Structure 1
Amino acid sequence: MKSVIGISLFSFFAIVASDDVYKLETKYIDVPIDHFSYTSDATFKLRYLINDTHHDKGGPIFFYTGNEGNINSFAQNTGFIFDIAEPFDALIVFAEHRFYGESMPFGNQSYVSPKNLGYLTSQQALADFVYVIDHLQNEYKSRWNGKKLPVIAFGGSYGGMLSAYIRMKYPASVLGAIASSAPIWQFNGLTPCEDFYRITTGVYASYSPKCANTIKNSWKAIRSFTQTPDNKKNLTSLWKLCNTPSTSDDIDKLVGWYSEILVNMAMVNYPYPTNFLTNLPAYPILQFCSTLDSYTWSDDYSLLKSIGDSLQIYTNYTKSAKCNDINETSSNVGESGWDFQACTEMVMPMCSVDSDMFENAAWDFNKYTNDCSKNFNVRPRSQNEPILEYGGKDISTASNIVFSNGLLDPWSSGGVLRRINDNIKIVVLPDGAHHYDLRGKNDEDTSSVKMVRSFHAKEIKRWLKKYYENYAQVHVI
């Protein structure tokens, strides 16, 4: 279904530049390139962003575990942390993930070889974050008589996975974690491979069954319509493509581009306009389906015209784009980095079946590994590495984690939706998209997201109360 290896948790991420709403100071820290070897002391500069405006006394560190992209983009779209920082006297920190943004272990050579990319792992990233936390403890604990400050990890999407993992693996460094839209069960044998696209289909069908059915018919139309050079040119015009697809690989890439747009609209189906992935109206799926349903189609040409015009909701909402370049769906480095991770440790089986609106595609691990070898000269050791590393569904000994998922989010397919124990809290937003609860407050917010954010704050307060009670000095919140 897709010409690149893995579906990034934000495959169209950070393509929109905008003025920063939240102010943060940029800092850098030298961290080991390899945390797990005693034979090398090589380091690189890891970027982190910090705001200590509200930090006081023994206030906690609110620590965002960075995702597969530029950390400032995540900071500007995680307003919840800023909204609650003042009442908690919190120090705000956003740490960048190695090999993304400005945090390149080998500078402009970071992506040139599998040897260099071999240091791009979640394990190394978690160790980076712990290194930063230790540095911050040494710098700020003097404000609380030299005692360790409590650390609350936050993260959404892959960053949410990391926030949960850092609490599980480094409980001495992190007191608790808010893990939003964290698909830690999107791995082999933990989740049916068809669930991701089934959920996406359900979101579209909930707005309009006709819309979902039209999308379902479009895949065959694309394949049959583009059999001739003239029709390839016609599709280029209908979909306002920058370049005419000429080969079967080009058509596969076009199908993947179209598929990802549909997924991304479900992920960012927020109740107000955003510029998170691109400039979008409120409830973009509603806008897309309303446009699509307004057309009457009778053949491949008219069907594909209706799809192309409707896609403008996502690809050109501001009417400023001259054409659609299917080769530039995201930051090249960001997508390459995630594709590499998907070829090593983050193998997330996905497939689509007759009952959903996407083109049929089976999960074929052998083909997947061959594609990885072709693209990166690496192969995943197994489909089970994340399960062995982080426990899969056997996380009953973990504590102080809130897993939140929006049911409008395709990635809820791999989210933790059932009770684990009394110390892991599960929160579901029936009308929530991808880590909606971590976004800043908005006048158009739903009642459910307000309740979830309140729940997060209460859990954090509960964790901190218990932490402070272990000391003679109790910090008042």
Structure 2
Amino acid sequence: MDGRILFLLTLLFIISSCHSYKYRTYFYKQKVDHFSFADRDSYIQRYLISDEHWNRNGGPIFFYAGNEGDITLFAENTGFMWDIAPEFNAMVVFAEHRYYGVSLPYGNKSFTAPKYTGYLTSEQALADYVELIVYLKSAIHGAEKSAVIAFGGSYGGMLAAWFRMKYPHIIQGAVAASAPILQFTDLTPCNKFGQVVTADYARESSKCVEVIRKSWAAINAVTTDEGGMGWLTNAWKLCQPLKAQEDVKNLKDYLTNVWTNLAMADYPYPADFLAPLPANPIKVLCTQLTDPGHEPKALLQELFSGLAVYFNFTGKAKCMNVDQQADVRLDDRGWDFQACTEMVMPFCYDGIDDFFEPSPWDFKAYAENCHQSWGVYPRPLMAPKIYGGKDISAASNIVFSNGLLDPWSTGGIMWNVSDSVVSVIIPEGAHHLDLRGSNPSDPQSVIDARMLERAFIKIWIESHVSKKSA
């Protein structure tokens, strides 16, 4: 097996469970550099397998293209794959993306220098997935002729789509949910994302939008001196005190991410994907933000009552930690590096058509910050050059799904490219709602989307089986 053998550690036969999902944990020895003829160091990639419902005589493999975080997080929040595995007699596999979770090519050194971090690319990650699938089909009896269907949400959805585009001989189809493959320079205007976030809040309350829009000036007014910073530190129960304007900037960056994360996770039932949240969290938050006419301190106290919906819905948080924007299993380090190399996604806000603090897209400043942080400069056109941008007419067998509540839909494929590359729109859907497990509170639009996705999966599998039988 070219030296890349399957590594079975002590967890081999230990059953892990996430909700009702059960899987076994395995490790596979991957090359660090798949595209060099020189020998390179290897690393251990984690992946999860469930074969509870698998037909061992060639049943399909449902393969999740892991994205920017610990793979267990995505296994716990991709219930659609688990729900339909019995219907298709499928094996379920979740592969961890290199440089995330425990799959660190250089261990603790992985993020210390470009010579180590430079192997963190979508191309290398896709090559990992190819190697892993080829190994599994050769090592697992009965899988030799199995159809492989890729799934992914968000960046994982981008990977699933690109996987099918670049390696159509390895996978037979892909369900790419909330996959913003067009969220790049010259493909999608930088202001559209913030407008969708704002529209999500406006659906609930115009006053809610105005409170948030006015909060930026209120923060600036209150934090002009140490006394004001101390007041806001205490009023908002901040874990780390505000001592300088850089701290204030970090606080406002946190708020920008909170408002965005709530739009992404505005699910119709309680969920804990990015943080433990109630059903319809924006609606719940906006019940607290009702008076934009307050003077600055009163306005910020009101805003804090809404913030608690995000950072302290469980009531267990002792303080608000602005350094933790989402589930700790999502790794900011790896994504920050990717955003400074190939995943350059421009965002800008004007404070008029959106409720964010005005912030133009300044690529020069962005690039310099990347160089200071990582010693690299961004390649803003690299991803469109590699994967085609809007010109994906040669692709086949991909379902792109997008929810209209999801701000990432602005960079998604929202039209049918061909008969086999189709777009599914979910008007009431937030971020990859269709990949989540079935729930009694699901809107009809997501139920219909999943039915269509299942229909295409069936077609792809049947086509593969007929070709193998010919």
Give the equivalent residue in structure 1 for 2:400: 403
Is the Cα contact below 8 Å between 2:70 and 2:329 reproduced in 1?
Answer: no
Shift of 1:245: 1.1
Structure 1 position 255 matched with structure 2 position 252: yes
- Give the alignment partner of residue 198 of structure 1, picking from 195, 200, 207: 195
Percent of aligned positions that are identical: 47
Alignment of 1:38-187 (within 5 A): 38-56=37-55, 57-140=57-140, 142-143=141-142, 147-187=144-184
Does the CA contact (< 8 Å) of 2:152 and 2:176 recur in 1?
yes
Tell me the equivalent position of 2:419: 422
State the AA in 2 paired with 1:70. Answer: D
Q: Aligned residue for 2:207?
A: 210
Deviations 1:1-31 (A, max 9, x none): xxxxxxxxxxxxxxxxx95431110001111
Q: 1:413 aligns with which of 402, 406, 410?
A: 410
Question: Are the counterparts in 1 of residues 258 and 325 from structure 2 also a CA contact under 8 Å?
Answer: no
What is the alpha-carbon distance in structure 1 between the residues aligned to residue 235 and residue 421 of structure 2? 50
Amino acid at match of 2:130: V
In the TM superposition, what whole-angstrom CA distance separates every residue of 1:192-222 from its partner, at most 9, and x where no partner exists? Answer: 0001101001111111111111111111111
Aligned residues: 451
1:308 aligns with 2:308: no
Q: Could you say what secondary structure the match of 2:469 adopts?
A: coil
Q: Deviations over 1:371-401 (max 9, x none)?
A: 0011111111x31000101000000010000
Runs of at least 5 residues in structure 2 that lack an aligned partner in the other structure: 1-16
Name the counterpart of 1:26.
25
Distance 2:62 2:92 in 1: 5
2:318 paired with 1:322: yes
- Take 1:164 and 1:39, find their aligned partners in 2: how far apart are those partners? 29
Deviations 1:99-123 (A, max 9, x none): 0001010112111111100000000
User: For the residues of structure 1 that align with 2:115 and 2:171, how far apart are their CA atoms?
Assistant: 31
For the 8 Å contact 1:417–1:427, the answer to whether it is kept is: yes
Looking at structure 1, the residues matched to 62 and 109 of structure 2 have their Cα atoms a distance apart, in angstroms, of: 32
Q: Secondary structure of 2:28's partner? A: strand
| CA displacement, residues 411-457 of structure 1 (integer Å, 9 cap, x when unaligned) | 11111102211210100100000000000111111111111111110
- Per-residue deviation at 1:337? 0.6
CA distance in 2, matches of 1:356, 1:327: 24
Alpha carbons of structure 1 residues 333 and 317: separation in structure 2 relative to 1, 3 Å: closer
Alpha-carbon separation, structure 2, partners of 1:76 and 1:333? 13
Q: Which structure 2 residues correspond to residues 373-392 of structure 1 after superposition, within 5 A?
A: 373-380=371-378, 382-392=379-389
Distance 2:293 2:307 in 1: 16
- Cα distance between partner residues in 1 of 2:330 and 2:358: 29
Which residue identity does 2:120 align to in structure 1? L
Letter in 1 for 2:213: K
Q: Deviations over 1:65-114 (max 9, x none)?
A: 00100000100100100100011110100000000001010112111111
Higher mean C-alpha displacement, 399-408 vs 333-342: 333-342
Counting only pairs closer than 5 Å after superposition, residues 323-342 of structure 1 correspond to structure 2 as: 323-330=319-326, 331=328, 334-342=331-339
Q: Is the 8 A contact 1:352 1:359 kept in 2?
A: yes
Whether the 8 Å contact between 1:44 and 1:105 is mirrored in structure 2 is: yes
Whether 2:260 is the aligned partner of 1:275: answer no
C-alpha distance in 2 between matches for 1:358 and 1:184: 24
Aligned residue number for residue 11 of structure 2: none
Runs ≥4 residues deviating over 4 A:
none
What displacement does 1:332 show? Answer: 8.6
- Contact 2:151-2:176 at 8 Å conserved across structures: yes
For residues 263 and 47 of structure 1, the distance between their equivalents in structure 2, rounded to whole angstroms, comes to 30
- Quick check: 1:437 aligned with 2:434? yes
Cα distance in 2 for residues equivalent to 1:424 and 1:188? 23
Deviates more, 1:34-43 or 1:186-195: 34-43
Judged with a 3 Å threshold, the aligned counterparts in structure 2 of structure 1 residues 183 and 352 are, in CA distance, closer, same or farther, namely same
Shift of 1:247: 1.2
Give the Cα separation in 1 of the matches to 2:468 and 2:224: 72
C-alpha contact 1:97 1:103 (8 A) present in aligned 2 = yes
- 8 A Cα contact 1:151 1:175, kept in partner: yes
Q: With CA pairs under 8 Å and 6+ residues apart, which has the higher RCO, 1 or 2?
A: 1
Q: Secondary structure at the match of 1:234?
A: helix
Whether contact under 8 Å (2:428, 2:445) holds in the other structure is: yes
Structure 1 residues 453, 254: closer, same or farther in 2, change over 3 A? same
SS in 1 for 2:429: coil
Contact 1:345 1:386 in 2 (8 A): yes
Structure 2 counterpart of 1:313, which letter? V
CA distance in 2, matches of 1:91, 1:190: 37
Partner of 2:7: none
Distance 1:272 1:332 in 2: 22
Deviation at 1:333, TM superposition (A): 7.8
What secondary structure is seen at the aligned counterpart in 2 of 1:318?
coil
Unaligned runs of 5+ in 1: 1-17
Which one of the candidate residues 369, 372, 375 is aligned to 1:371? 369
Amino acid at match of 1:388: K
- Find the counterpart in structure 1 of residue 358 from structure 2: 360
What RMSD in Å do the two structures reach over aligned CA positions? 1.4
Range 196-205 or range 323-332, more displaced: 323-332
Letter in 2 for 1:35: H
- Tell which deviates more after alignment, 333-342 or 80-89: 333-342
With normalisation by structure 2, the TM-score equals: 0.94
Q: Given the alignment of the two structures, is residue 343 of structure 1 paired with residue 340 of structure 2, yes or no? A: yes
Distance in 2, Cα, partners of 1:271 & 1:355: 26
Bigger mean CA deviation after superposition, 447-456 or 151-160:
447-456
The alpha-carbon deviation at position 297 of structure 1 amounts to: 4.4
Length-normalised TM-score, structure 1:
0.92
1:409, 1:432 within 8 Å by CA — same for their partners in 2? Answer: yes
2:229 corresponds in structure 1 to 232
Equivalent residues of 2:145, 2:468 under 8 A apart: no
1:9 maps to what in 2?
none
1:166–1:296 CA distance, 2 compared to 1 (3 A)? closer
Q: Is the 8 A contact 1:21 1:76 kept in 2?
A: no
CA contact (8 A) 1:297 1:306 kept: no
Report the Cα distance in structure 2 between the residues aligned to 1:296 and 1:34, rounded to whole angstroms: 54
